[in-house]
Amino acid sequence: MAADEGSGSGSAPPSLQDLTIDNITPNTIKINSQCKNQRLKYVMERLVTHIHDFARETRISTEEWMAGLNFLVQAGQISSDVRHEFILLSDVLGLSLLVDDINHPKPANTTEGSVLGPFHTHDAPTLENGANMSSDPQGEPMVCICNVKDTNGKPIEGIKIDIWETDSTGHYDVQHSDRNEPTERCVMLSDANGDFWFKCILPVSYPIPHDGPIGKLLEKLGRHPWRPAHLHFMFEKEGYDHLITALYMRGDPYEASDAVFGVKKSLIVEPQRIDAATAKKYGVPENSWVLKHDFVLTTDQETADLRDKLATEALAKLGLNLKLVDHLPVPDLD
Amino acid sequence: MAADEGSGSGSAPPSLQDLTIDNITPNTIKINSQCKNQRLKYVMERLVTHIHDFARETRISTEEWMAGLNFLVQAGQISSDVRHEFILLSDVLGLSLLVDDINHPKPANTTEGSVLGPFHTHDAPTLENGANMSSDPQGEPMVCICNVKDTNGKPIEGIKIDIWETDSTGHYDVQHSDRNEPTERCVMLSDANGDFWFKCILPVSYPIPHDGPIGKLLEKLGRHPWRPAHLHFMFEKEGYDHLITALYMRGDPYEASDAVFGVKKSLIVEPQRIDAATAKKYGVPENSWVLKHDFVLTTDQETADLRDKLATEALAKLGLNLKLVDHLPVPDLD
């Protein structure tokens, strides 16, 4: 056979003829190794290896292969400015959770991350502390009283906080075709004490969009599409590790079966019925819920150090000869 | 931690909380194992394992993950009725070649397969033997004189043959936005002697569509998008293994570097200048090319037997405890 057997990593391109189940992988890797970007070259080598091994281990049929490719086209075509079906796919396959854990490992006693999901937008209005981010009169009113500190217990002032939730029917604003403006979402800034507080509605459980290919996949797998009730938070300030997280309402029927694997015990919270004094202080009705939560954020440096340490340990355990360049593994050829 | 460590395969669903880099894989597999279709369950188990291992081995960054998901959306959105960007992706990653080799292994002395590519259509006209399938006056005229037999040397009569090629500019008809009807493609039937013959043009080398995400990927990898000049054939008749193949013109500059790995030595052919008698016989100009080729096809049974034998051997070699059901591997739980 003419095709290169894949031994050696010389610079001559392989002769790509007579490729078979046995020699296609080293030859694909070799032709891709013309790539000048060492990181991309490594990522592609692992990608090609895993895709080919998947095909060999499943002996995937031509019909299954074509069904898979058509599934991917459908996922792309149902996606839009306000719907990202591939984030959903990544979510239901556990990949999003894994990527978050790789990139944002948390020291003990800091706020854990959760999945971003496909519903964050960039058009949320910046609101003053105390404002109401929900315009849904059907929701049960809730006031959230929060604080954000660093790992030394020092309040973080002026951190940007993106907050978003569904309306009382379990839909994000972008899921309504007649959406004119953002609702049930806002951006806030913490004050000098690290405090921020806002009015919203008690979150409800809801199914992830299941009218597309991902919904059909879950159905075939015998899985439900539900997420337990939660409120999304994203924290952003230079010098601090970008934190994407959510608070989950205790007692939700889907608390232990989140379709996208986002629940952490440390993120489960229990809203209380508000007392009269607090209701008066925050200007909310006496039948409101109140949720108090303190967030603890790491610095970029703390997270980068922990991520590099865990990466180095994990790669050594995998037996791969790699080094970190710009915090990302590439083959160590020295 | 609450999440199931993944040991055992009991029917109780896992408690999906506190998922991490270390326990997300067994728990995702466990929740997917509610699937009643044993084959899909196995395919998903391998898919989840490989996707997660890919993320762990590359320690993929959040930015890379998002870039990957956006790449997939773009591939879906540039796809259309006449463009399948995911087939192209599968082609350039060597997956299409691999899938063909798994599903259509060929005994010695039979015609090998090649990649389908994204340009086959279902609207090609059925033409009589001797007809001209090309309407491009700029192409160099060629007559193809072919025969199709089984492995016993017996002619196969009435087999449906799909034939397609580019025009002289290296574009398939569907790549022209003003396409009104199929050109440079046809369907023929072999006669009682297994013969079929048709007029076309000498194929030219051409780049696969590289104005979309796949083209950008190839550029980043330092790979060219060219395919050597070829003529596509697809054979279909009940009882015979569906054969997708192509004939490649000897001496093409891309003969050993096909962007989609399709070239087999046994499929390289050498068109000749036609002699006066043959030109007269087939009614083509005296400056025409002539290409003669005999195809040898296997029966469904021959291919199924060989595929099962190779699958059983390969799976045993992989050390996986599998059995074939409907010719496809599933875990052997007996």
Confidence of residue A8 (pLDDT cuts 50, 70, 90): very low
pLDDT of residue B217: 98
Residue B6, pLDDT score: 46
Contacts of B101 in chain A (CB under 8 A): 19-21, 24
Residue B152, pLDDT > 80, answer yes
Nearest to B261 by CA among A303, A13, A274: A13
Q: How far apart are CA A98 and CA B1, in angstroms?
A: 16
What integer is the mean pLDDT of B155-178? 94
Location of structure tokens 């074509």: A66
Taking each helix axis from N to C end, the angle separating A300-318 and A95-103, rounded to the nearest 10 degrees, works out to 110
What are B74-102's pLDDT values in tens digits? Answer: 999 999 988 899 999 999 999 999 999 99
pLDDT for A142: 97
Q: Which residues of A touch B220 (CB under 8 A)?
A: 35, 37, 40
CB burial class (10 A; 0-12, 13-18, 19+) of residue A258? buried
Query: What integer pLDDT is reported at residue A59 of this predicted model?
Result: 96
Query: Chain A closest CA to B96's CA: distance in Å?
Result: 9
- Predicted TM-score (pTM) of this structure: 0.92
B93:A329 CB<8 A? no
> What is d(CA B197, CA A124) in angstroms, rounded to the nearest whole number?
66
With CA atoms as reference, the chain A residue closest to B66 would be A87
- Picking from B54, B86, B265, the nearest residue to A72 by CB comes out as B86
Q: What is the mean pLDDT of chain B?
A: 93
Tell me whether residues B221 and A16 touch, CB distance under 8 A. Answer: no
Q: Quick one: pLDDT at residue A9?
A: 47
Decide if A93 and B257 are in contact by the 8 Å CB cutoff: no
Amino acid at A293: H
CB contact under 8 A, A65 and B99: yes
pLDDT tens by residue, A152-204: 999 999 999 999 999 999 999 999 888 889 999 999 999 999 999 999 999 99
Q: How many CB pairs under 8 A join A and B?
A: 258
Closest by Cβ to B76, choosing from A72, A223, A315: A72
pLDDT band at A13 (very low <50, low <70, confident <90, very high): confident
Per-residue pLDDT averaged across A223-230, rounded? 96
Measured in angstroms, the CA of B137 and the nearest CA of chain A are apart by: 32
pLDDT category, B4, cuts 50, 70, 90?
low
Is the pLDDT confidence value at B1 over 90? no
pLDDT value at residue A4: 53
Q: Residue A6's pLDDT is what?
A: 46
Q: How far apart are CA B232 and CA B226, in angstroms?
A: 16
- Over the stretch A45-103, which tens digit does the pLDDT of each residue have? 999 999 999 999 999 999 999 999 999 999 999 999 888 999 999 999 999 999 999 99
A77–B72 CB contact, under 8 Å? no
* Beta-carbon separation of A73 and B90 below 8 A: no
Confidence (pLDDT) at B331: 86
Nearest-Cα residue of chain B relative to residue A40 = B221
Contact B222 A34 (CB under 8 A): yes
pLDDT in tens, B30-63: 999 999 999 999 999 999 999 999 999 999 999 9
Mark yes or no for CB contact B35/A221 under 8 Å: yes
For A264-293, what is the mean pLDDT? 95
Summarize pLDDT for A88-119 with one digit per residue, the tens.
999 999 999 999 999 999 999 999 999 998 89
Instruction: Please give the structure tokens belonging to residue B182.
Output: 């199929």
Per-residue DSSP letter, B266: G
Q: How far apart are CA B191 and CA B197, in angstroms?
A: 10
A76/A96 Cα distance (integer angstroms): 18
Q: How confident is the model at residue B159 (pLDDT cuts 50, 70, 90)?
A: very high
- Chain A, nearest residue to B34 by Cα: A222
Partners of residue B16 in chain A, C-beta under 8 Å: 256-258, 261, 263
Cβ-contact A215, A225 below 8 angstroms = yes
Which chain B residues contact residue A65 at CB under 8 A?
90, 95-96, 99
